[in-house]
Structure 1
């Protein structure tokens, strides 16, 4: 992909066919997503995007809510096809009339073209109105028998940029005395390990210090615990990826978030990086002791 080329995906299709799942999937793929922007604002939007030079992937939802601008939408698409800086693909989501009726009944929502009339009449009108857009689509996905996860997988298979990871791991250390991290998927308590805080030479240091980390892992149960943890994650991680999970936060806690949790989080993060996972390592409470001293 050239640096000055924008990859634009138009997400459109029948109401109730899965556009909400689609836009969420594109967000997870790193696309800049806009839902139902009026077409007359698009030229200015393109100029702002082009000038910024930072956005290279855009997904726009255009659906029947834009029916007042429908002629402008067709004109806009024709114009984009003649530009050298935008590569456009149209994703059209469809489903059988029976399935669309069932979904509307289940959610108890009104169809945008049948606010006061029969649901089926609205679906028929929409299908006729969207036919030209469907004819222009490079990819048509029938979601009649697809679950949200299966639709997500279909989008990932067709629109994922090569070598751009869609699964990310955050390894975090924390101190239980400052509260549990509310965004953690997996929480591990390592307070069963001897605390370096009570060793005078280690008290002012942290788990980032090699001597402190060595002390932690020299404990008889530490290495056994760590190897079992790695084995557990190696079993679970492919399953998370397969089920469409895009991020995993592993939080490792000790009393103050200074020594034991920091040492384990550092080692775990580095080992996962060696296994080719995208990983960020953070130490939530590493500076808390410093802040306490400064306030006293």
Structure 2
């Protein structure tokens, strides 16, 4: 297995790092006691699930971690697993500001001030810092840059997983999909509902699809909307999004939105975009 140990100072970005790895398919555990690491690794090895990538957040919150980490890391490596230790750090000023913004107490020393907790934690983790695979100073990083650095260190040339695009049709009559990142209203297109021969069918039927896609307005719309998505997708990925929800809506979610969503799905699938399509209201809608 590839095992990544995420450790370092409280408030330095470890939670952001583990979320980034979770989005990349890592099995993640936070604050696992050192005494249970060997048992956990053994359970994963014998699990029916094919778990190859594991990330463990281990830090000052577990007191026995400070005393036993070197022996545990050695046993993991001896068992043949790849181990990387990512140590997260930041300046005292930045850490104090972050604690002030979140109004959290420092976990290292109960009843102590934040500066006292930081000094104690630095001293306790000094040995771990020396053996780390990489030291990541997050003082000047935003969450997107931190994510980029973590994935680069862990996956290297393998690269990050491709962003998942979830495309769905819906009917405005039944409300906006709450998970939407982008919403496009196609109610301006001619409605097959008002064509008696097409009304009973959905946008999955060839006759309805041909009617919707055969309109001049549809042709112009699709060209411009595809261009916009092709521009946006790389930008969203650079900013660290692991998935994007695009919702296409018409009145009832049965005809126009379905045909448009299907057309977009096939277009982007042919261009190797990681995309899925669904039709929320296809069995309810009219128009």
TM-score normalised over the length of structure 1: 0.89
Check if 1:248 corresponds to 2:249: no
Of the three residues 105, 126, 135, the one matched with 2:130 is 135
4+ residue runs of structure 1 moved beyond 6 angstroms?
Answer: none
Q: How many residues align?
A: 284
| CA displacement, residues 69-109 of structure 1 (integer Å, 9 cap, x when unaligned) | 4323332111101012x211111101122322232233332
Of the three residues 198, 201, 209, the one matched with 2:197 is 201
Check if 1:235 corresponds to 2:231: yes
Aligned twin of 1:263? 259
Q: Secondary structure at the match of 1:264?
A: helix
Check if 1:88 corresponds to 2:99: no
Q: CA deviation at 1:121?
A: 2.5
Mark the runs of 5 or more structure 1 residues left unpaired by the alignment: 1-5, 290-296
Q: CA deviation at 1:237?
A: 1.9
Aligned twin of 2:108? 113
Aligned twin of 2:72? 76
Task: Tell me, yes or no, if the aligned pair for 1:190 and 1:253 is still in contact at 8 Å.
Answer: yes
Q: Secondary structure at the match of 2:193?
A: helix
Aligned twin of 1:272? 268
Check if 1:98 corresponds to 2:93: yes
Q: CA deviation at 1:199?
A: 2.3
Q: Secondary structure at the match of 1:41?
A: helix
Mark the runs of 5 or more structure 2 residues left unpaired by the alignment: none
Of the three residues 202, 211, 214, the one matched with 1:215 is 211
**Shift in alpha-carbon separation, 1:265–1:190, aligned structure 2, 3 A:** same
| CA displacement, residues 175-225 of structure 1 (integer Å, 9 cap, x when unaligned) | 222221100111111122222223233223221122211110112211111
Task: Tell me, yes or no, if the aligned pair for 1:257 and 1:285 is still in contact at 8 Å.
Answer: yes
Of the three residues 36, 52, 59, the one matched with 1:56 is 52
Provide the aligned C-alpha RMSD in A: 1.9
TM-score normalised over the length of structure 2: 0.92
